Structure 1
Amino acid sequence: MLVIDFIDEVKGVTEEQQKELEQLLLLAAKMENVPSGAELSLTFVDNERIQEINREYRDKDRPTDVISFAMEEMGEGEMEIIGENMPVVLGDIIISIPKTYEQAEEYGHSFMRELGFLTVHGFLHLLGYDHETVEEEKDMFDRQKEILEAYGLKR
């Protein structure tokens, strides 16, 4: 079982939509063999807030759709905390709700399909997937498609 902390700063995602995202993430976690009890947070923000985060952490001064911060990666000078029964904290996924609406319209699919896509994209980043090379991008995007189709969120 995955433990998900939803934080909706913009009051832009209904309780039903959050439940659907939870089910989607539970399926993704199962498909990716994520250990039971793993934790993550999923935060919904506006374009201004995601632009601040993008500028501060990625040196890109523009709004983006999704940003992930993986907790399992050790940063320079960080010390690993080891203990029995410590939960696996995957990290944080931050999604811009205005960007989600914009992209759903641009791609001609539902808000929920785009939100699901961005959630799975962010989740896979937490698990170490990336799209820096053509090969990595193919692996990540193929896996996203498999998860979304297995759940039933099609374009």
Structure 2
Amino acid sequence: MSLQLDWSNEQNIMDIPDNWIAKLGELLQLAGAAEGMEDGEVTLTFMDDTGIHEMNRDYRGIDRPTDVLSFAMLDDGPDELDIIFEVDSEDEGDPLSGMLGDIIISVERAKAQSEEYGHSLEREIGFLFVHGFLHLLGYDHEHAEAEAVMTAKQESVLSAAGLTR
């Protein structure tokens, strides 16, 4: 197995070019290699501001849109729900094995931020994807030191993929 990207654009927010999906796959491989991750699956969903606003409100208690949300499958904090499933007798294990989690990106927010920061939309979506991936692995930016670590990791991966400002 290797790192796999499964993506969805069910809201059809914009036409997502095939080369962007290939670039996101490359970013996943680069970020995974940098973190010593060889296997796993990440699901990426593109949404509008309304959809991500609802998710941010419902799951984080923050009543506004955001640019990216990450939901780690391996997160077992005190507020997480227990995952209950039945394993088919023919199945050789946990059906969720290898699932790292879900990343949701607001394309509307990414467009606005790419304009604000003066770089391409592809670069902004790439940044948000790597940012979300690092959250799946447990990184955060709650204080300056953690933010500096996360920022350096993001910029290293984006630079390696040719997505500079």
Query: TM exceeds 0.5?
Result: yes
Aligned with 1:41: secondary structure?
strand
Counterpart among 39, 42, 45 of residue 43 in structure 1 = 45
8 Å contact kept, 1:35–1:88: no
Q: Deviations over 1:21-68 (max 9, x none)?
A: 1111111111111132x0110000000000000000111111110000
| Counterpart amino acid of residue 100 in structure 1 | A
Correspondence list, 1:34-73, <5 A = 34-36=37-39, 38-73=40-75
Number of equivalences? 154
* Partner residue, 2:5: 4
1:97 aligns with 2:70: no
8 Å contact kept, 2:4–2:42: yes
Identity of matched residues, %: 48
1:24 aligns with 2:20: no
> Which one has the largest radius of gyration?
2
8 Å contact kept, 2:139–2:146: yes
Q: Deviations over 1:6-25 (max 9, x none)?
A: 01123322222111111111
- Give 1:94 shift: 0.1
- Distance across 2 between alignment mates of 1:114 and 1:146: 15
Counterpart among 10, 13, 17 of residue 14 in structure 1 = 17
TM-score of the superposed pair, with normalisation by structure 2: 0.86
* Partner residue, 1:151: 161
What is the RMSD of the two structures over their aligned residues, measured on CA atoms? Answer: 2.1
1:140 aligns with 2:150: yes
TM-score of the superposed pair, with normalisation by structure 1: 0.91
| Counterpart amino acid of residue 36 in structure 2 | N
- Distance across 1 between alignment mates of 2:83 and 2:52: 28
Residues 31 and 51 from structure 1, CA distance in 2 versus in 1: closer, same or farther, beyond 3 angstroms? same
| Counterpart amino acid of residue 102 in structure 2 | D
Structure 1: runs of 5 or more not aligned: none
Residues 80 and 135 from structure 1, CA distance in 2 versus in 1: closer, same or farther, beyond 3 angstroms? farther
